[in-house]
Amino acid sequence: MTNKNDSYFMKLTRKQVDQQVGDFTAACRREGVKATHQRMEILRELAGTTEHPDAETVYTRVRQRIPAISLDTVYRTLRLLEKKGVISRVSSRQDRARFDANMDHHHHFVCEACGRIVDFNSTALDDFRPPPEVAALGRVDSVHVELRGRCRTCKRAAGRRS
């Protein structure tokens, strides 16, 4: 949950969600991939949340709208969306892969206690440049910054237990 004072947290607008679904539909047409109702609903579910859900959560939510959808369809669709660059996989130390439909440049805060992942913007982090030593390893195409710690909720809960 974001606080109204946390203006650096990101949330996609309905217009952005619709744009992303439209972009995916157009990309499917260009590449000869079927833009099925199930695929669109899976993408719409991901694009409409800032929670970075895992496949099982996406399945549970989409199943409320499409009862006949299978978990296998959700997994295959998530792999397809990731392969086409429409969503990204977000790292988590939990067992399950988590997904992010926000493809705008942004960073992540990951709570080590509850696993919550929150998008945020930071001009200071946007200006990060890989050190020259990295050039010996290969070409850097993008930089994704992930900060780990404890979210406010978990920090407060730990304080109450102390």
Looking at the structure, do residues 87 and 140 belong to the same domain, yes or no? no
Q: Which residues contact 64 (CB under 8 A, 6 or more apart)?
A: none
Looking at the structure, do residues 23 and 87 belong to the same domain, yes or no? yes
Q: Can you list the positions of beta strands (E) in 17-156?
A: 88-90, 98-100, 107-111, 117-120, 146-149
pTM over 0.75: no
- Which residues form the domain of 119? 105-161
pLDDT band with cut points at 50, 70 and 90 for residue 12: low
Looking at the structure, do residues 24 and 74 belong to the same domain, yes or no? yes
Cα three-residue angle 82-150-143, rounded to 5 degrees: 40
Residue pair 130/140 in contact by the 8 Å Cβ criterion: yes
- Give per-residue pLDDT as tens, 36-86: 999 989 998 998 888 899 999 999 999 999 999 999 999 999 999 888 888
In a domain, residue 7? The reply is no
Looking at the structure, do residues 18 and 95 belong to the same domain, yes or no? yes
In a domain, residue 146? The reply is yes
Q: Is the pLDDT of residue 7 over 60?
A: no
Q: Given CA atoms 101, 4, 93, 49 in this order, what sign does their dihedral have? A: negative
Domain count, the chain: 2
Looking at the structure, do residues 27 and 90 belong to the same domain, yes or no? yes
- What does the CA dihedral 43, 49, 54, 57 come to, rounded to 10 degrees? -90
Looking at the structure, do residues 130 and 68 belong to the same domain, yes or no? no
pLDDT at 161: 77
Label each residue of 99-117 as H, E or C: EECCCCCCEEEEECCCCCE
Q: Which residues contact 66 (CB under 8 A, 6 or more apart)?
A: 37, 38, 41
Looking at the structure, do residues 22 and 92 belong to the same domain, yes or no? yes
User: Which residue among 81, 99, 117 closes a domain?
Assistant: 99
- Tokens standing for residue 143: 């930089």
In a domain, residue 2? The reply is no
